[in-house]
Structure 1
Amino acid sequence: MSTETLGNVEGRDIGSGVSIIRERTDVDGSGPRLHQHPYRETFVVIRGRAKFTIGDTEREGGTGDILVVPADTPHKFAVIGPEVYEAVHIHESDHFITEWLE
């Protein structure tokens, strides 16, 4: 399967105050490098597992978990395979703003 972005939607394009990324992958270790946003991001894990780094904390997120990253908090995640990871990432902004830190 590899990695698929099932759809990125910026809220301003549909009259919403939130933007969404839908992602699905079976690539062990895949995920974005360390970054932050000037708004909260909420991860809704539909299936699979990933190791999340949120600020100074590391935790595993799995099927059914919801993780909230505060504004201006460095974060990243890496998929724990071989299961498929599928999630919805909700950005509390009408458009994506990302500062890459690594």
Structure 2
Amino acid sequence: MVNTLAEPTLVAANEILLGNGRSRRFQGSDHGAGVSYFYVDNQPGQGAQLHWHPYAETWVVLEGDVTFVVGDEQIVATAGDTVTGPAYVPHKFTNTGTGTMRLIGIHASAVIIQTVID
């Protein structure tokens, strides 16, 4: 039997930075992985605009306070909490705390597919 597993790789943070900040975008397909993620580092009032994906998304709050809107639900989460959003349901989040908010947004896809809602 042939081993088809990819070799382990290290992806340095500076290789996947978004813009000038500390947030990052990891596209799994670029690295032989079946999942993708955003590492988000936001200040108070910052967040993501309303959008949806054709797959589920899971957020792990690493630091701070964040308010998610997932469909008609508003969910307030803090460090250590995990929030999930189903496929095709519009969602967004905002740092509603007084300090830095950090989270990981895990995409159940090797490719990030995102449709922004105006």
Residue 19 of structure 1 pairs with residue 36 of structure 2: yes
After TM superposition, the runs of 4+ consecutive aligned structure 1 residues lying more than 2 A away are none
Aligned to 1:99: 115
SS in 1 for 2:92: strand
Residues 24-73 of structure 1, C-alpha deviation per residue, up to 9 Å, x if partnerless? Answer: 122x2211111000001100000101110001000101110000110001
Q: Which has the larger radius of gyration?
A: 2
Q: Highest relative contact order (Cα 8 Å, sep 6+), 1 or 2?
A: 1
Uncovered stretches (5+) of structure 1, i.e. residues with no partner: none
Aligned to 1:72: 88
Instruction: Count residues in correspondence.
Output: 99
SS in 1 for 2:49: coil
User: Shift of residue 90 of structure 1?
Assistant: 0.4
Residue 46 of structure 1 pairs with residue 58 of structure 2: no
TM-score, normalised with respect to structure 1:
0.90
SS in 1 for 2:77: strand
Q: 1:59 aligns with which of 70, 75, 85?
A: 75
Greater share of strand: 1
Give the RMSD, CA atoms, in angstroms. 1.4
